[in-house]
């Protein structure tokens, strides 16, 4: 039976990094529709303004480079001062291989020896240090409020491990490993940590157009909304250390049914 989430997140404050475009914006829309107060964080001002103007209500914007610790602390302060708490963080901000190569990334994939050191450092800062900074800064507030949800957006295992995907896949793997460690450190508390992935190539600016290719073949960002709402809610209190695949999440089914079909443990627990 379809679950009505219209008021599920009322009174809940959420920070979504990379929230003004693509997967992040889709999650912001769903969270706001479920009643959450949302701080949309992005590095560029224009899409923030567009998103906040579109959604209004309790959706507020904040421009920041979340790979900079001081700016992350300002994000947390802004959320707490505006909404009175910081209950949920969705570590979604990222940069893709297209930023290095553009549309040529498929025809001529980069090998690790072709990578500039500065790019590897930047991918590490955005995909690993930024979630670490934000989670660490938000955690005292979550503990004080006896409620917290940490959601980190990573990618498929094949992307993490395949040729031509370093440093993107490499740093997403690191981000997932970090979230796994967080979930274990947080066991027994009122704060949970889980991973959310689209489940394949998503229709965002990081997937460039190419000949004989239709963007309808890609996963549409809207699929991220329903599982993000569930993970942000009180209903997910017993869900910790899980990896949710958004394309497998069916909004017409109950959360219990979806957890059976769309989730597994974070990382690679059966590998040695």
pLDDT tens string 153-188: 999 888 899 888 899 999 999 999 999 999 999 999
Determine, yes or no, domain membership for 150.
yes
69-84 average pLDDT score: 98
- The answer to the question of residue 86 being in a domain is yes
The boundaries of the domain holding residue 20 are: 13-265
- Is 7 a member of any domain? no
Phi first, then psi: what are they for 194, rounded to 5°? -140, 160
Lowest mean pLDDT among 69-73, 91-95, 213-217: 213-217
Report whether pLDDT(198) > 60: yes
User: 1 in a domain, yes or no?
Assistant: no
196 in any annotated domain: yes
Number of structural domains in the chain: 1
Q: How confident is the model at residue 210 (pLDDT cuts 50, 70, 90)?
A: low
Sheet with 88-91: strands ordered across: 59-63, 37-42, 13-17, 88-91, 148-153, 191-197, 242-245, 263-265
Q: Is residue 84 part of a domain?
A: yes
Domain of residue 201, CATH code? 3.40.50.720
- Asked if residue 8 belongs to a domain, the reply is no
Residue 197 lies in a domain: yes
Residue 99 CA, distance from chain mean position: 19
The full 3-state SS of 184-242, as one line of letters, equals HHCCCCCEEEEEEECCCCECCCCCCCCCCCCHHHCECHHHHHHHHHHHHCHHHCCCCCE
Report how far Cα 105 is from the mean position of its chain's Cα atoms. Answer: 23
- pLDDT tens-place string over residues 39-75: 999 999 999 999 999 998 999 999 999 999 999 999 9
Instruction: Report H helices in 107-167.
Output: 117-124, 130-145, 157-161
pTM attached to this predicted model:
0.92
């Amino acid at each position: 039976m379809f679950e009505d989430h219209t008021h599920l997140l009322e009174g809940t404050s959420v920070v979504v990094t990379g929230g003004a475009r693509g997967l992040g914006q889709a999650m912001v829309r769903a969270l706001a529709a479920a009643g959450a107060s949302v701080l949309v964080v992005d590095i560029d001002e224009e899409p923030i303004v567009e998103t906040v103007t579109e959604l209004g209500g309790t959706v507020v914007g904040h421009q920041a480079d979340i790979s900079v610790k001081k700016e992350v602390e300002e994000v947390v302060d802004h959320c707490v001062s505006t909404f009175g708490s910081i209950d949920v963080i969705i570590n979604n901000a990222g940069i893709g291989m297209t930023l290095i190569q553009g549309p040529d990334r498929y025809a001529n994939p980069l090998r690790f020896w072709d990578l500039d050191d500065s790019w590897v450092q930047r991918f590490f800062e955005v995909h690993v240090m930024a979630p670490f900074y934000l989670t660490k800064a938000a955690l005292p507030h979550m503990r004080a409020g006896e409620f917290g949800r940490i959601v980190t957006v990573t990618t498929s295992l094949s992307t993490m491990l395949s040729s031509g995907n370093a440093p993107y896949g490499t740093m997403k793997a690191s981000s997932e490993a970090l979230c796994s460690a967080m979930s274990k450190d947080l066991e027994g508390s009122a704060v949970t940590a889980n991973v959310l992935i689209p489940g394949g190539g998503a229709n965002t600016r990081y997937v460039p157009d190419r000949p004989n290719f239709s963007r309808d073949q890609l996963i549409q960002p809207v699929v991220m909304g329903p599982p993000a709402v569930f993970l942000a809610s009180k209903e997910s209190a017993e869900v910790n250390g899980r990896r949710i695949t958004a394309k497998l999440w069916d909004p017409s089914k109950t959360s219990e049914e979806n957890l059976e079909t769309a989730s597994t443990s974070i990382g690679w627990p059966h590998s040695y």
